[in-house]
Amino acid sequence: MNQYDSMITRQRKWMFYLLSLLVVGAGFTPYPRIFLGLLLGTVISFYNLWLMQRKINQLGLATIQNRQMRGIGTFTRLASGAAAALIALRFEEYFHLIAVIIGLMTAYVVIMIDFALLKSRDLHKEEG
């Protein structure tokens, strides 16, 4: 498995862990509306992460094969974020809008944390 595939696997694993924590939080805390909002945003964020990783992989293959690609799915990712906000606005009794917006950013936080942990691990290997 190359470095890119292992990075994708790690990021998806962290997202699944986070999703499971949010499900537990929605079911067993006195703040289900906030956790359901975080869950909705994080599910859409996970979909956006999967879509972005898939499109980047396709872009790499197109580059190798000397083909052109139309885009990397930016409009689709923006539309899914807008759909999550509309769902939260339509069903306000179930989803907290600010929590949905925070949830939409979780994939980027996971990417940054994964990068920081990987660089930290690389620095420790160089020192030791």
pLDDT, one tens digit per residue, over 75-117 is: 999 999 999 999 999 999 999 999 999 999 999 999 999 999 9
Tell me, letter by letter, the H, E, C secondary structure of 42-65: HHHHHHHHHHHHHHHHHHHHHHHC
pLDDT, one tens digit per residue, over 19-59 is: 999 999 999 999 999 999 999 999 999 999 999 999 999 99
pTM of the model: 0.90
